[in-house]
Structure 1
Amino acid sequence: MSEHNPAATGPATRSTAWQTALTVLQEARPPFVPQGAHAMTVLIEYPPGDPGTPPHRHSGPAFGLVLEGEMLLEVEGEPERVVRAGEAFWEPGGDVIHYQDGNHRDDVPLRFTVTMLCAPGTPMLTLVEEEELARRRDRRAPRPS
Structure 2
Amino acid sequence: MTEQQTSGSRLDTSQPDRSKASARNQSQTPRTPVNPHPPVQWTGRLEFDLTDSRGWRVGTIEVVVRIDTVTLWYGNRTLAVMHRESFKHWLMRPVVPFEFDDVVWYMQGTTTCLTIDGANSYAVPDPIVDHLFAVA
Query: TM-score, structure 2 length as denominator?
Result: 0.25
* Bigger radius of gyration among the two: 2
Q: Which has the higher helix share?
A: 2
Tell me the TM-score normalised to structure 1 length.
Answer: 0.24
Higher relative contact order (CA 8 A, sep 6+): 1
